[in-house]
Amino acid sequence: MKTTIALTAAAALAAKVSAACWSQSLGYSCCTNASTPVVYSDNDGDWGVENGNWCGIPVPETCWAEKLGYSCCTSTSQVVYTDGDGNWGVENGNWCGITTGSTPGPSPSPNPDPTPDNTQYKISGNPFSGVEFYLNPYYVEEVENAIKQMTSSSLKAKAEKMKTYSNAIWLDNIKNMQSWLEPNLKGALSQHQSTGKDVLTVFVVYDLPGRDCHALASNGELLANDSDAQRYKTEYIDVIESHLKKYTAQPVVLIIEPDSLANMVTNIENTPACAESETYYYDGHAYLLKKFGVLDHVAMYLDIGHAFWLGWDDNREKATKVYKKVIDSGSPGKVRGFVDNVANYTPWEDPTLSRGPDTEWNPCPDEKRYLEAMYKDFTSAGIKSVYFVSDSSRNGHKTDRKHPGEWCNQTGVGIGARPQASPISGMSYLDAFYWIKPLGESDGTSDESAARFDGYCGHDTAMKPAPEAGQWFQKHFEQGLENANPPL
């Protein structure tokens, strides 16, 4: 093995390449990465050794992304999108420029630095139809990190496919809303400008005062009091409105406050925290409906829980009154419809179940029958726009839960139907299957000593050990991939 390198005059005079692999023009390969130890340096550059052969250590490129207002990637070389400026990756949920060569990945999320225009998109009919679905860069990064923990090539291949599907972006506190709303609106606009196609982005509005009053794992940052209710309006809803008014060229779907109104139907009398939140839930909904419901490029869906929450006849009757009251209170704002099964596991169809003792006489033991019933109830009540989006992110495989009301990190989980517009023939009122709760993000911690521990997360069929709500749960993610139906 040589300890020095004597380059010939001809080689020394060869044209040097300013890109990473400068040593190829000298007859040597480039080292596989810039962190290869330097063994020797000369006027051409730094040299290393790999597999007993000399290689040129790549010269890091300047951070070209900085001139566009973005940092360069420091821990990823996974290309999520490529445009005329270069290759783009994602770190910490933000776009970054990749300064070393890499093979483009699944695309199509963009360089999010477009020039806003004054084009006004107007939703007419099903907002999920005839559009591309925007990829959530934060989730792409979560999946990339999950893949690094896997050893099975089969499982890795399934996870790679997950990066190609769209899911909702949760604005679950004021800070996350400020960090994630505008960058992703920019991303959708840039994707539109680079592809010429309309790009739909789905956000979850989720920060009511006294949020999730009947649960512990997912309580929010704002309390059920007048001061925090004002913060909800001015620091959260008003800011969302200002960004939506700025980015009008692309369609946006808003999933409105999961679990909130369903709690108003069933838990006012038995849960003091829900009774304390009642005024703020109704007032918050009326406020946001008036703000968002008049925007032509925005469609809203109010959450209606799931089949084993409001499916019984008496609960549906109460629900009809609650939802009509809320919709009327938001006039002139309009809603497109309703969303079911958010973050839940109830199958779309389960022919093994029927109304009887095993289902506590629930006439709607799966989501399909639940939506069929709710469609009839809501239209009969005079609600004008009755369309549904069903969360299919985790209901492809029947879980092990002993009671269909169990909701926390259920074992036996499987990814469900892929995001798709108008997926069921004969159900014109079903706008889409869509992934609203991202598979792999925990429902709640199983640590009984934790302040946010909820008893449901300690049940026999809840996977353990589980992290806090919203944190990554690798084991749950992997089981969801294995049990995917249809298979990945």
Please state the φ and ψ torsions of residue 171, each to the nearest 5 degrees: -95, 70
250-280 per-position pLDDT tens digit: 999 999 999 999 999 999 999 999 999 999 9
- Residue 459 annotated in ligand binding: no
pLDDT band at 40, cuts 50/70/90?
confident
Q: What is the pTM of this model?
A: 0.80
Whether 95 shows a pLDDT value over 90: the answer reads no
- Residue 344 annotated in ligand binding: yes
133-179 per-position pLDDT tens digit: 999 989 999 999 999 999 999 999 999 999 999 999 999 999 999 99
pLDDT band at 26, cuts 50/70/90?
confident
- Residue 306 annotated in ligand binding: yes
Same fold, 22-56 and 64-97: yes
Report the CATH number of the 22-56 domain: 3.90.1220.10
Name the nearest CA neighbour of 379 among 432, 316, 422, 310: 316
pLDDT at position 345: 96
- Is 443 in the active site? yes
Cα–Cα distance, 165 to 159 (Å, whole number): 11
Domain residue limits, the chain: 22-56, 64-97, 132-483
- Residue 309 annotated in ligand binding: yes
**Alpha helices, DSSP H only, in 307-408?**
307-310, 313-329, 367-380
Rama region for 327: left / alpha / beta (φ>0; ψ in -120 to 50; rest): alpha
pLDDT band at 103, cuts 50/70/90?
very low
CB 461, CB 411: distance < 8 Å: yes
Q: Is the dihedral of CA 446, 405, 304, 409 positive or negative?
A: positive
- Residue 180 annotated in ligand binding: no
pLDDT band at 106, cuts 50/70/90?
very low
What architecture is the 132-483 domain classified under in CATH?
Alpha-Beta Barrel (3.20)
In this structure, what token pair is assigned to residue 31?
């080292």
Q: Which residues pair with 300 in a beta bridge?
A: 254
Supply angle C-alpha 421, 423, 427, rounded to 5. Answer: 110
* 137: three-class secondary structure by DSSP: helix
Cα–Cα distance, 296 to 293 (Å, whole number): 8
352-397 per-position pLDDT tens digit: 988 888 889 999 999 999 999 999 999 999 999 999 999 999 999 9
267-276: burial string, b at 16+ Cβ within 10 Å, e else: bbeeeebbbe
Name the nearest CA neighbour of 282 among 312, 227, 322, 255: 322
> Is 3.40.50.620 the CATH classification of the domain at 64-97?
no
Catalytic residue among 212, 228, 443, 454: 443
The single residue listed with the structure tokens 């919709």 is 327
- Residue 435 annotated in ligand binding: no
Across the range 401-419, mean pLDDT stands at 92
pLDDT band at 9, cuts 50/70/90?
very low
Catalytic residue among 259, 350, 366, 454: 259
Burial (CB < 10 A; 0-12, 13-18, 19+), residue 108, is middle
Cα–Cα distance, 236 to 208 (Å, whole number): 9
Most distant CA atoms of the chain, gap in Å = 90
296-318 per-position pLDDT tens digit: 999 999 999 999 999 999 999 99
Query: What is the percent of the chain where pLDDT is above 90?
Result: 67
**Alpha helices, DSSP H only, in 271-312?**
272-292, 307-310
CB 236, CB 207: distance < 8 Å: yes
* 13: three-class secondary structure by DSSP: helix
In this structure, what token pair is assigned to residue 342?
């958010």
* 57: three-class secondary structure by DSSP: coil
Whether 107 shows a pLDDT value over 50: the answer reads no
Cα–Cα distance, 16 to 137 (Å, whole number): 37
What is the distance, to the nearest Å, from the Cα of residue 377 to the centroid of all Cα atoms in its chain? 30
The single-letter DSSP state of residue 294 is T
* 92: three-class secondary structure by DSSP: coil
- Residue 173 annotated in ligand binding: no
- Residue 170 annotated in ligand binding: yes
Supply angle C-alpha 458, 461, 466, rounded to 5. Answer: 50
In this structure, what token pair is assigned to residue 201?
């982005």
Higher-pLDDT residue of 426, 95: 426
pLDDT at position 100: 58
- Is 296 in the active site? no
